[in-house]
Chain A
């Protein structure tokens, strides 16, 4: 069983640019959540996608947007990058049914904004 994968592993961008991060959910999981983890802090919820629809959003501005595809993979897009967007971006997937509250995380994408 393949776990959650994310690409790229590392990324360097400059202020004002746009970035797209990708996530493949674990086999059989139809829900994907995205988190931002700044250095030395716990992960903060950005949003969640279920069956290609946004299913909850945290306190992040609209320049953070996402997509989920029919195969349940997902993208996180960030426009007009700011220095404070530098962080580890984590994707998590969860199954439907009995274990739906459990989120399984990928290795993350480390984004540096200069």
Chain B
């Protein structure tokens, strides 16, 4: 079954610093991959998605992610974080029949002044 792993439970970054959140996938073929963000007490907002083609994907709020087949990774990056980026970030992959998303355990991002 398809799965994703987010190795980092909690990351703390200074405002203005760069950010990279890790996501590793387990899937036989080229997967579809998603990053979602969840602010405290809120639903999930889609940041970006990878289906095929260009391995560097641009998303909303200045985020980007790079699909690397050789490393089975789809890491999320942002060159300069803002205090409003503090949230929980989830990587997700749909199953073969696309009727469900399987989520990673999430990475909680804290921003310090």
Q: Which residues of B are found within 8 Å of A90, using beta-carbon distances?
A: 43-44
Asked whether B67 is an interface residue with its Cβ less than 8 Å from the other chain, the reply is: no
For window 31-51 of chain A, which residues contact chain B by CB distance below 8 Å?
A: 33, 35, 41-45, 48
Give B20 Cβ to nearest chain A Cβ, in Å: 20
Asked if residues B100 and A106 are in contact (CB atoms below 8 Å), the reply is no
Q: Taking the complex as formed, is A77 at the interface, i.e. its CB lies under 8 A from any CB of chain B?
A: no
Q: How large is the interface on B (under 10, 10 to 19, 20 to 34, 35 or more residues)?
A: 20 to 34
Chain B interface (Cβ < 8 Å from any Cβ of A): 32, 34, 36, 41-46, 49, 51, 90, 94, 97-106
Known contacts A42-B105, A43-B103; is A100 also within 8 Å of B98 by CB?
yes
Closest to B104 in A: A42
- The count of A-to-B residue pairs whose CB atoms sit within 8 angstroms is 53
Listed residue (A41, A48, A90, A101) with the most chain B CB atoms within 10 angstroms of its CB: A101
The answer to whether B100 and A107 have CB atoms under 8 Å apart is: no
Residue of A nearest to B45 (CB): A105
Give A residues with C-beta under 8 Å from B: 4, 6, 33, 35, 41-45, 48, 55-56, 58, 90, 92, 100-108, 110
- Say yes or no: A42-B99 contact (C-beta < 8 A), given A101-B51, A102-B49, A105-B44: no
A45 CA to B42 CA, complexed, in Å: 17
A58 CA to B99 CA, complexed, in Å: 10
Q: Are B105 and A107 in contact (CB under 8 A)?
A: no
A6 and B49 alpha carbons, distance in the complex (Å): 24
Q: Enumerate 25 A-B pairs (CB-CB under 8 Å) in ascending A order.
A: A6-B43, A33-B99, A33-B100, A41-B106, A42-B90, A42-B104, A43-B101, A45-B100, A45-B101, A45-B102, A48-B99, A55-B99, A56-B97, A56-B99, A92-B101, A100-B98, A102-B46, A102-B49, A103-B101, A104-B46, A105-B45, A105-B46, A106-B43, A108-B42, A108-B43
Considering the complex, give the chain A residue whose CB is closest to the CB of B98.
A101
* Residues on A with beta carbons closer than 8 Å to the beta carbon of B44: 43, 90, 92, 105
Task: Report the separation of the CA atoms of residues A83 and B9 in the bound assembly, to the nearest whole angstrom.
Answer: 26
User: Shortest beta-carbon distance, B67 to chain A, in Å?
Assistant: 15
